[in-house]
Amino acid sequence: MAGVSHAVRVLIVDDDPLVRAGLSLMLDGANGIAVVAEAADGDEVPAAIDAHAPQIVLMDLRMPRLDGITAIHRLRRRQAPPEVIVLTTFDTDENVLRALRAGASGFLLKDTPPAQIVDAVRRVAAGDPILSPAITRRLMEKVATESGAYEQARQALAGLSPREHDVVLAIAQGLTNAEIAAELLMSVGTVKAHITHILTKLSLGNRTQIALLAHDAGLA
């Protein structure tokens, strides 16, 4: 493992030992990232988090005892949970939506180039969600056609201030905090404060869920 004092701490969860070994080798070789633990199933995640305090969890979806989506649901009920990036071979629309609605901050396929996986870990650790472009296009098309979600999303967003509404739109467009700050002429700290207030008002876990709600409402 790399030095972990100032590195992004990562937990790898996958039932395939070869996948875990490959990811660990790749990420531990990246500057500023340290793999602090591995788990072979979703039911091992709570103990690994308690023992190693990761900031990022790379989570497979299909595992023999506890699947990744259920594990994400359980994680989001913890106080100050780590961010989750789903890394899987299964990219069906249903899997993507279920994972993101459960609280995942990103969704990548296992054939994603190593440099992009490393970049995703760094971006999510910095507070920016990550989705592969192909998944994003399909996801937004599916969300736009879901029945019943439109009015619920509109009602949920109605309680936001105009400035918070602007931030929601920017998040839905995939902008980073720095890009939102430049677009809306505010500091990055102010952007982060707005996002915190939005998450609290909407009872959401992360900014990816904000983006999904905005798309449900037809705003992006």
pLDDT in tens, 98-121: 888 888 888 888 888 999 999 999
* The total number of residues written for the chain in this structure: 220
Asked if residue 207 lies in contact with residue 214, where contact means CB atoms within 8 angstroms, the answer is no
pLDDT at 80: 85
pLDDT, tens only, 162-191: 999 999 999 888 788 889 999 999 999 999
- Enumerate the CATH 3.40.50.2300 domain ranges in the chain, comma separated: 8-140
More confident of the two residues 90 and 173: 173
One-letter amino acid for residue 71 of the chain: A
DSSP element (H, E) containing 168: helix 162-172
CA distances in angstroms from 57 to 171, 175, 184, listed in the order given: 22, 22, 31
CATH 3.40.50.2300 for domain 8-140, yes or no, is: yes
Asked if residue 37 lies in contact with residue 27, where contact means CB atoms within 8 angstroms, the answer is no
What DSSP character marks residue 81?
Answer: P
**Residues in Cβ contact with 31 at an 8 Å cutoff, skipping those fewer than 6 apart:** none
- Enumerate the CATH 1.10.10.10 domain ranges in the chain, comma separated: 148-216
Strands, sheet with 83-88, edge to edge from the N-terminal-most edge strand: 33-39, 8-13, 56-59, 83-88, 106-109, 130-131
User: Which pLDDT band, with edges at 50, 70 and 90, does 130 fall under?
Assistant: confident
Task: Assign domain 148-216 one CATH number from 3.40.640.10, 1.10.10.10, 2.60.120.260, 3.30.70.260.
Answer: 1.10.10.10
**Residues in Cβ contact with 81 at an 8 Å cutoff, skipping those fewer than 6 apart:** 49, 75, 103, 205
pLDDT, tens only, 35-57: 999 999 999 999 999 999 999 99
Question: Percent of the chain having pLDDT more than 90?
Answer: 51
Q: How many Å apart are CA 159 and CA 37, to the nearest integer?
A: 41
